[in-house]
Amino acid sequence: MLKELAKDSNVVFCPLSIHVVLSLIAAGSKGPTLDQILSFLRSKSNGELNSFAFVATSTVLADGSPSGGPRLSFANGVWIDKPLPLKASFKKIIDNVYMAVSKQVDFQTKVSFEVSIADIHCVFGGEKAVEVLNEVNSWAEKETSGLIKEVLPPGSVNSSSKLIFANALYFKGTWNEKFDASQTKDYNFYLQDGGSVRVPFMTSKKKQFVCAYDGFKVLKLPYSQGQDKRHFSMYFFLPNTRDMLPALVNKLASEPGFLDRYLPSEAVKVGDFRIPRFKISFGSEVSEVLKGLGLLLPFSGGLTEMVDSPLDQNLCVSNIFHKSYLEVNEEGTEAAAAAAVLIMNRCLVLSFDVIDFVADHPFMYMIREDRTGVVLFIGHVVNPLLTA
């Protein structure tokens, strides 16, 4: 998906967040729709998807801060139109696999209220659906420690809405080796259009996990780990030339196993070493991106295993919204993501020589848990001064 998102702006998104909402849609689907989701997610069965979601929710993304690791939280939520009872089998998956909070809500009722000021009398109308939208946004804001304030845009929920699936991820990790803020200095960051901007760069003279490959270098910055077996790290993928970020993103998209193959495993001496501080907020409605990648059927029907009602034949995905935030500084990283699915009536060569690693031009990055390979966040930076 990274290849299909904004190419000329900074990007951060959470593949895990999208994977989980699509897995939940799969759990409520059957027939060709289910088959297409499984193929898209490269999974063999709903059972496999549910197993991954359970491990991710209960283990990989469990809070590590009590034992000295990253602060983590991951939550799922489901909001269902009151007239639609969930199928018992789907409710069991929501409760026991995704450990989601679920709530019956009113999308249908229209409300009105009167306001009188002096001699002017006005009657205003609206829908209870707006209250549901505000509730989902408040839930996401709380679950992301205030970093994601509006995963659902105004007007996105209305009386045609039947279900909303949402998730929210929060991550805060400190570097295993923090940067000395007094050593941070401004240098040029070279843009893809040939221009440059002055950006604060962090530096260190300590050994780093760096490898040089054909056309690019990779830096691994580990986070402080807790007492469990998880190991979280941030990776920077730096093209050798200033205009090669698109080619590197294409390589990621076209080469299976790319994110597992090109990872440094040994700390080596570095020469010139600088990475920029940056902060990114990014949001997108990803339905068209997913359709462009071949995921079409959930948007037209096949969601027949969710509700115990004749309306199950008419349910389809109308929108998938995603918002993410990431800040990288001398202390570490703070990041958050939220995704929301609206469902309505019918309508994603090693080298150990001394290596310079100067990220002074567009680069790609990711945050992942190294033992399982679960990618929490991925994106690219084209200008560290831009916050979007």
Per-residue pLDDT reduced to its tens digit, 321-369: 999 999 999 999 999 999 999 998 764 333 446 678 889 899 898 999 8
Which is nearest to 234 in space by CA: 146, 323, 329, 324?
Answer: 329
Tell me the C-alpha distance between 237 and 244, whole Å.
11
Q: What pLDDT was estimated at residue 118? A: 54
What residues form DSSP beta bridges with 276?
Answer: 201
Which is nearest to 92 in space by CA: 302, 306, 315, 317?
Answer: 306
Tell me the C-alpha distance between 123 and 125, whole Å.
7
* Whether 161 contacts 168, CB under 8 Å: no
Query: Which CA distances in Å does 173 have to 169, 245, 349?
Result: 13, 26, 30
* Whether 331 contacts 174, CB under 8 Å: yes
Q: What pLDDT was estimated at residue 348? A: 31
Q: Is 383 exposed, middle or buried (0-12, 13-18, 19+ CB in 10 A)?
A: buried
Between vectors from CA 319 to CA 313 and to CA 324, what angle results, nearest 5°?
140
Which is nearest to 306 in space by CA: 291, 316, 318?
Answer: 316
Q: Full-prediction pTM beyond 0.85? A: yes
DSSP 67: G
Return the beta strands (E) in the chain as ranges.
11-13, 71-81, 101-105, 110-117, 120-127, 161-174, 185-190, 196-203, 208-213, 216-222, 232-239, 267-268, 270-276, 278-285, 315-328, 332-345, 355-358, 363-369, 374-381
Rounded average pLDDT per 10-residue block, the chain, 388 residues: 65 92 94 95 94 91 88 95 91 95 86 52 59 95 95 91 95 95 96 92 94 93 89 94 90 85 89 94 91 92 86 83 96 97 66 73 90 90 84
CA atoms 35, 291, 21, 263: torsion sign: positive
* Whether 70 contacts 173, CB under 8 Å: yes
Q: What pLDDT was estimated at residue 117? A: 57
Which is nearest to 276 in space by CA: 328, 320, 312, 229?
Answer: 328
* Sheet-wide strand order for 332-345: 101-105, 71-81, 161-174, 332-345, 315-328, 278-285
Q: What pLDDT was estimated at residue 349? A: 35
| Ramachandran sector of residue 157 (left: φ over 0; alpha: ψ -120 to 50; beta: rest) | beta
Q: What pLDDT was estimated at residue 126? A: 47
Q: What pLDDT was estimated at residue 122? A: 46
Concatenating the DSSP letter of every residue in 255-299 gives STTHHHHS---SEE-EEEEEEE-EEEEEEEE-HHHHHHTT--GGG
The structure tokens listed for 72 are: 């983590």
**Burial readout 122-151 (b: 16 or more C-beta within 10 A, e: otherwise):** eeeeebbbebbbebbbebbbebbeebbebb
Q: What pLDDT was estimated at residue 121? A: 46
* Whether 299 contacts 317, CB under 8 Å: yes
